[in-house]
């Protein structure tokens, strides 16, 4: 379980808080999703969880323990994180890169064991990069690199997986496979926290959605409660309708044609132009 309680954070010299009094939790066994417009504070939550920035107020807990009480290695054993941006720096075959995920479990007195090797193989299979095992990470496409990074996080193991926009570069087949995998991991008892702009996929797969807006929680709960047209129009500043997914009946957002006013206000008429 990952829990943020009344968390407030501000970047140095920023004029406003990136997060103000945000409370949310991601429970084991549930796929929890954080959604919200650009700049709403989603990645800041991940930075705070990784202790890459200080917070002004509030508590962050993993398994009911404040994150300050974990040493770096222990934190990495419990929570695997796939940040939004990360470039491949060194030339390395994919399988060796994925094996780096096991590093927090190894150390000077414990080299890689057969179990580590098996976990790396499984992670590569699950993330769809088994075929790329011998390829150099510097020579991967955007989508392949994304899947290699997810494989590394899967190899890391631990109770919790946090992914910041994990499917941005993926085609529809790989994206669906990834969401199916996240749902399976959650069902197996892991805590899975996904940040994504793919509201419609989130509505199909997530148990809980948290909608952030300007550093605050605008709505939270099961997808049908959060996917309300009035709330989403206000937060995304765009006219839209919420309908039902024809395949599974999940709430589905359909943005309407329109123009965004420079003030950021809603277009006057959200009706579709006739062509």
Residues making contact with ligand ADP (CB under 6 A)? 11, 14, 18, 36, 38-44
Q: Strand locations in the chain, DSSP E?
A: 2-9, 19-26, 31-35, 57-62, 65-66, 79-82, 160-164, 191-195, 208-213, 216-221, 240-244, 251-255
| SS3 labels along 173-192 | HHHHHHHHHHHHHHHCCCEE
Minimum CB separation of residue 167 from ligand ADP in Å reads: 15
Given the complex with ligand ADP, which of 42 and 149 has the nearer CB atom?
42
Given the complex with ligand ADP, which of 39 and 125 has the nearer CB atom?
39
Minimum CB separation of residue 261 from ligand ADP in Å reads: 20
Given the complex with ligand ADP, which of 39 and 189 has the nearer CB atom?
39
Q: How far apart are CA 145 and CA 168, in angstroms?
A: 11
Minimum CB separation of residue 36 from ligand ADP in Å reads: 6
Given the complex with ligand ADP, which of 6 and 269 has the nearer CB atom?
6
Minimum CB separation of residue 83 from ligand ADP in Å reads: 11
Minimum CB separation of residue 44 from ligand ADP in Å reads: 3
Q: Strand locations in 144-259, DSSP E?
A: 160-164, 191-195, 208-213, 216-221, 240-244, 251-255
Given the complex with ligand ADP, which of 9 and 151 has the nearer CB atom?
9
Q: How far apart are CA 79 and CA 62, in angstroms?
A: 9
């Amino acid at each position: 379980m990952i829990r943020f309680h009344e968390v407030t954070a501000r970047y140095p010299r920023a004029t406003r808080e990136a997060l103000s009094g945000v409370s949310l939790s991601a429970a084991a066994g549930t796929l929890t999703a954080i959604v919200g417009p650009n700049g709403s504070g989603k990645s800041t939550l991940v930075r705070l969880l990784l202790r890459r920035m200080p917070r002004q107020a509030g508590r962050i807990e993993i398994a009911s323990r404040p994150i300050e009480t974990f040493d770096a290695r222990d934190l990495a054993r419990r929570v695997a994180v796939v940040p939004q941006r990360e470039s491949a720096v060194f030339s390395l075959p994919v399988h060796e890169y994925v094996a780096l995920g096991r590093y927090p479990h190894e150390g000077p007195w414990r080299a890689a064991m057969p179990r580590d090797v098996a976990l790396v193989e499984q992670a590569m299979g699950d993330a769809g990069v088994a075929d790329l095992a011998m390829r150099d990470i510097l020579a991967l496409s955007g989508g392949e690199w994304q899947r290699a990074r997810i494989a590394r996080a899967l190899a890391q193991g631990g109770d919790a997986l946090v992914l910041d926009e994990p499917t941005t570069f993926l085609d529809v087949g790989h994206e669906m496979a990834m969401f199916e995998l996240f749902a399976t991991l959650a069902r197996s008892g892991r805590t899975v926290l996904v940040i994504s702009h793919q509201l419609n996929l989130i509505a199909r797969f997530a148990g809980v959605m948290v909608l952030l807006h300007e550093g605050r929680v605008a709505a939270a709960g099961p997808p049908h409660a959060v996917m309300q047209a009035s709330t989403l129009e206000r937060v995304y500043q765009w006219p839209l309708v919420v309908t039902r997914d024809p395949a599974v009946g999940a709430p589905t957002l359909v943005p309407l044609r329109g123009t965004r006013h420079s003030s950021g206000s809603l277009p006057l008429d959200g009706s579709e132009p006739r062509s």
